[in-house]
Structure 1
Amino acid sequence: MKVALIGLGTTGKIVSEYLFNKNVLSMVLCRENSHNAGMDLGEVLHRPYMGITIETTANLEEKLNIYKPDILIDFSSPKFLRDHLSTLAKCKVNVVTAVSDYSQMDIKRIKVLARKGEIGVAIAPNITLGVNVLLKMAQIAAGLLSDYDFQVIDENHKNKKDSPSGTAEKIASAIKKVFEKSGEHNDLVPIHSIRAGDITGRHKVLVCGKYDQIEITHTAFSRTAYAEGAYRAACFIYGRKGVYEMKDVYGLMGNSYTGEQIPLSSNKKGTASVYA
């Protein structure tokens, strides 16, 4: 399996090192105006020489045809897929995107291009296993306690751009859908966001009744959890077509809602790309 990683921010650096240790990372891409251009990845990660020179995303199609990655993991921003998804589809590169602040129009376009380009895309703002278990537990609680008040608390580091996070919005949306299916009209699920210090990531669902309260909490102790989730998503999307979510990756809530599932072929060690 050949993997491409897009984004060398706080989490992306952890992901890049994780993939490097998995022996699937060999090429790094950066924005055309990035100060990382031309540097060895080891310099950016403050590690010994790694033998991976960071290049710009100029002439992306040409580079994809040379290195032929099977998967591109996206930890950058909505702009990257807005600008390059059609190129990825043309080159038959599947995508795992952990970006959490896409617009509804962005999501619609991703689905259309995935279908037309016959590629697989995993939309994964909630990329860790633990937070997906929290999501399922919140849905169970909503089904049993529809007369309770539900609120979502979203805590993250002070430099996280989106507030609330895509994960928090996903949790609130999932709770509302349970209410709708059960015929309840309790569609108020407030989200409270905290951006402070270097909080790795914490999401809490408060379920409050008149006489008692339940708290469902997921806390990420290390950003390696995101790297592990991204790698698992890449293994899942390899050889597949259609649009998927992390619930499909972890097998928590049934099959893909739009995807055609295709048997996975055997994994091959290969190269990867990173967008810094």
Structure 2
Amino acid sequence: MKIALVGYGKMGKIIDQIAQSRGHEIVARLAETPTVENLNNPDVVIEFSNPDAAYQNIKNCLELKIPVICGTTGWLEQRSEIEALAVRENTAFLYSSNFSLGINLFFALNKKLAQLMHPFSEEYRVQLEEIHHTHKKDAPSGTAISLAEGVIENSDFTSWKLEKTEGQGLGIFALRKDEVPGTHSVYYRSEVDEIEIKHTAFSRKGFASGAVMAAEWIKGKKGIFNMKDVFGV
């Protein structure tokens, strides 16, 4: 495949290496806004930029009818507009807050545990926690928000909030520590015990590999997708 990388920070460089190791050609490595001139006619765009640039980056690519794999978080207020654009342009868009196989299995486990714990919500208080490197610009992480949404779908909570769980607001502690790729925990605490599930990323390679797999999977498809479609979980 011919792949254009939009956003060429740490993740972009790792995706570059993995894509080439799987036999793909990188036709553009962009730190600037993508255009028809600098994209070089790719089969797919993998977008890992920053929250301020993501919307315009994705919009430009979709308007050129190029499928987009997006891993940038912190811009999702405009997600519905982007998805409508992808449908209108008869192309494909896949967003995920996290592309690793492990975290997508963790998403499924989180939903199942929330279902099991729902009848015992009086006994157990649920709290989420995420830890990332100090360079991460958004808080909470997109992965933490996805986990919170999984709990909310299977509980009486109506929204998530930063810090401590209160009332119908599911709490997320967002911590920043040097060079932590990503650690996410969901725990249910009672007066007598605690149940915790946790995912710890050791490097960014799991995220990058999943993004390349998503790019391979989406070729020839039309519509709106996520990593559940790719991994079948």
**What range is the shorter-chain TM-score in?**
0.7 to 0.9
Give the secondary-structure state (helix, strand or coil) at the position aligned to 1:26: strand
Give the secondary-structure state (helix, strand or coil) at the position aligned to 1:161: coil
- 5 Å-filtered alignment, 1:117-266, equals 117-146=89-118, 147=121, 148-179=124-155, 187-252=168-233
CA distance in 2, matches of 1:199, 1:63: 33
2:28–2:38 contact (8 Å) kept in structure 1: no
Q: 1:85 aligns with which of 55, 58, 78?
A: 58
Structure 1: give runs of 5+ residues left out of the alignment: 33-56, 253-276
Q: State the Cα distance separating 1:92 from its structure 2 match.
A: 2.0
Amino acid at match of 1:6: V
1:103 equivalent in structure 2: 76
1:179–1:187 contact (8 Å) kept in structure 2: no
Higher strand proportion (structure 1 or 2): 2
1:9–1:76 contact (8 Å) kept in structure 2: yes
Q: Deviations over 1:188-246 (max 9, x none)?
A: 32100111110011111112234321111111111111111101111221111111111
2:17 equivalent in structure 1: 17
Decide which structure has the larger Cα Rg and report it: 1
Equivalenced residue count is: 220
Residue 62 in 1 paired to residue 37 in 2?
yes
Give the secondary-structure state (helix, strand or coil) at the position aligned to 1:118: coil
Give the secondary-structure state (helix, strand or coil) at the position aligned to 2:130: strand
Q: State the Cα distance separating 1:127 from its structure 2 match.
A: 1.3
Q: State the Cα distance separating 1:91 from its structure 2 match.
A: 2.6
CA distance in 2, matches of 1:246, 1:177: 18
Larger relative contact order, structure 1 or 2 (CA cutoff 8 Å, min sep 6): 1
CA distance in 1, matches of 2:190, 2:116: 12
Give the secondary-structure state (helix, strand or coil) at the position aligned to 1:169: helix
CA distance in 2, matches of 1:199, 1:96: 24
CA distance in 1, matches of 2:168, 2:212: 35
2:65–2:90 contact (8 Å) kept in structure 1: yes
Identity percentage over the alignment? Answer: 32
